[in-house]
Amino acid sequence: MSESSPGGGAATKTSDPAFGEVPKAPTERARSLWSDAWRDLRRDPVFIIASLIVLAVISMVLFPSLWTSGDPRDCDLARARQKPSWDAPFGFSNLGCDYYAQAIYGAGPSIQVAVFATIGIAIVGTLFGVLSGFYGGLIDTVISRLVDVVAGLPFLLGAVVLLALMQSRSVWAIVFVLIALAWITLTRVIRGTVMTTKNMDYVAAARSLGASDRRIIFRHILPNAMAPGIVVLTIALGLFVSLEATLTFLGVGLRAPTVSWGVMIVQGQSHVLSGYPHLLLVPCMFLVTTVLGFILMGDALRDALDPKLR
């Protein structure tokens, strides 16, 4: 038999030989780091604004027709560098292409590079970080020295050299280079978290009960070690968007006829002094807003997932 408690929860009665039925205290739902983080994020205006920006950019990638009915490759030299109008809010490019349509469709390659590169460093960085932090010894030494070697190479210079050697200007070439140079940050974060987590009492209890290394890693260590890793990956998404544009601007990234924000910046920067600054400002606006959205989301996640900041 149960009755409603003053706090609104269900209080259960138990019998006592001396006093009869005594109500138990209402039980509360168990709270976890992720539930507390989600509660905080829902109340964080910075996270909400950043999420709206990210969702808008993702919708441009997946459903560009929702944003524009124009064709980014439908170009007519007779319309070259025409000013913005009602039909073309951002005017036309130097080749007579609808600049608004190009800005919408340009999100595709830029976000593809960022997403696939982030997935790549998530796999490589997590694998090396777990192996290094969990097993230690020779494995930790080898991976740590490899991290030191990659960290000693300037990132931008290394990317330029690798892309020049590959002589490829595809999305996958840029993704490969970004993964090859950017996995070390996540590896260091995961390694440190795993080294701390593997000494916890619940890991020792699981080991004493005969749990295998694989079970301990996937059931007990990784769920607790991935919180800081998710923050790193979220910020990396924004940085990779800007790196794609940077590499394209330096001449080793994507090239026309591919439509991306980086290609638009390269084509528009030569017309700024000719009286057409919008050809440069439009893709820069999209790029900066997207990068800012991912970085603000990462900062909000870091604040919510770090118990020391509560």
Q: Which CATH architecture has domain 45-309?
A: Orthogonal Bundle (1.10)
**Helix (H, G, I), strand (E, B), or coil: what is residue 13?**
strand
Place of tokens 């968007």: 241
pLDDT given for residue 229 in this prediction: 86
Buried-state track 38-57, b at ≥16 Cβ within 10 A, e below 16: eebbeebeebeebbebbeeb
Provide the pLDDT for residue 11: 47
> Which residue positions in the chain have pLDDT lower than 50?
1-15, 17, 19, 22-28
CA dist 82 and 96 (Å) reads: 8
Residue matched to tokens 């790549």:
120
Q: Which position has the token pair 């999209």?
A: 286
Q: How far apart are CA 206 and CA 215, in angstroms?
A: 9
**Residue 33, token pair as written in the block:** 């780091």
Confidence (pLDDT) at 25: 46
Contact criterion met (CB below 8 Å) for 252 and 163: yes
CA angle 38, 42, 44 (to 5 degrees): 115
| 246: number of Cβ within 10 Å | 18
Q: Which pairs count as long-range contacts for 264-270, CB under 8 Å and 24+ apart, including other chains?
A: 264/93, 264/99, 264/102, 264/103, 264/106, 267/93, 267/94, 268/93, 268/94
Q: Considering the entire predicted model, what is its pTM?
A: 0.80
For the CA atoms of 184, 190, 37, 293, the dihedral, rounded to the nearest 10 degrees, stands at 10
Tell me the two tokens of residue 97: 């292409």
In this prediction, residue 308 carries a pLDDT of 57
Q: How many residues does the chain have?
A: 310
Helix (H, G, I), strand (E, B) or coil at 304: helix
Q: Are 132 and 139 spatial neighbours (Cβ–Cβ below 8 Å)?
A: yes
The pLDDT assigned to 32 comes to 64
Q: Which two tokens stand for residue 5?
A: 């408690």
